[in-house]
Structure formats: structure tokens, C-alpha cells
Amino acid sequence: MKINKIGFLFLFIIFTACKSSFCSREKKILYTNPDSPARVLKISDKKDSLLLRKPSKDVRKIEKNKDLEQLVKKLYLTMLEENGVGIAAPQIGINRNVFLFYRLDKEEKTVELAINPRIISYSPEFICFQKDGCLSVPDKYGASRRYSWIEVEYIDQNKKKVTHKFLGGSRTEDYTGTIFQHEYDHIQGKLYIDKPCKSN
């Protein structure tokens, strides 16, 4: 089958539109009611589930990126509205490697931004984290298998590269590392229900 130059260009645009920058579908999510929370995607909805299960891509342009700034704003408003301890971009329909998480290891319990995060090392042992829950899996809780510590790299809200070691732990301890792993799973297209475990 022959494809003329215009047809090839059209196909190229279709397949690359959302790869390097925010595409029109994503911008619609970001800028429709820009000062309001976004709708959280649910695993129970077939279309939502396809997006939640899709691995995300890195943000290439970080400096002076208004779309990225709007994404962070939307994530923050949505996390507050839903009373979460973290939220990832895929949960509002944006498949980018971006999430927010609470720094429970800090006295002031600040919210931190992670852009293009990586887990660079992790513990050889696991913990079974009890009562894990997710805004995209409403009204359900379960135990999930997590590393007891992780060392990570990411770019924070100050556009600085951060390298840090986070602990896992139970809900009565510092479990920042568990929150990070939960949100990191989202950008991999995974959910806590994919990592069930049984406590001894």
C-alpha cells in the first residue's frame, strides 16, 4: 500500500503528538476549569483503565514549561480535594512521569514534586504494607508488597535534582518510601492491587 507525503505526515503527527510535549487531549484536561481539581480516573471504567495501565513518558522540557506548571497545579488541587497523600499524573489522564507525594519524613510534612523520578537502588527485603489504598481504586484497601527502603532520583519543585533514601515502614512510622513506590507504580502503569501480599 502506498502512502503519499501528506498521509505520511498525518500518521507521523498522530504517533508523535503526545510523546515530546503535551498534546491537545492533555491540554484540554489541564485548561478546562484551570483553577479546579481534575477528575480522578477509576480502574472500574474501561477507558480510564486503559490510561491508568499505560506507562508514562518523561517530561523533556522542564524550564519555563507552562503546561507542566499547570499539571502540577491540577495535581495539587486534586490531591487536596481527594484527601490523598500522593497523586500521579496518569490518575488525571496525563501520561507523564510526574507525581506529588507527602514527605512524612519531614517535621512539617510538606508536599514534594517528583519529575522524571527513578528508583536507583532498593532493599533486598520487602515489607507487607497494610491498608494500602488508591484514589483510582475507590472504596477498597489491601496489603501491598513494598521495599523497606529505596534510593531515588528526581527533579523537585525547585528544578533541582534530588537523590534521597526513603524508608518504607507501617502507617504508624515514616512510610514516605511506600508512598513514593505507590506513585512510581502509577507512572509505570501499575497499581497497588498488582502487588498483593500476606502479612505473617
- The Cα 98–Cα 91 span in angstroms is 11
Residue 148 near residue 168, CB atoms below 8 Å: yes
Letter string b/e over residues 20-56, b meaning 16 or more CB atoms within 10 A of that residue's CB: eebbeebeebbeeeeeebbebbbbeeeebeebbeeeb
Residue 81 annotated as catalytic? no
Place of cell 501528506: 6
Note the Cα 144 to chain centre separation in Å.
17
121 backbone dihedrals φ, ψ, rounded to 5°: -160, 165
Residues 6+ apart with CB under 8 A from 198: 128, 143
| Catalytic residue numbers, as ranges | 183
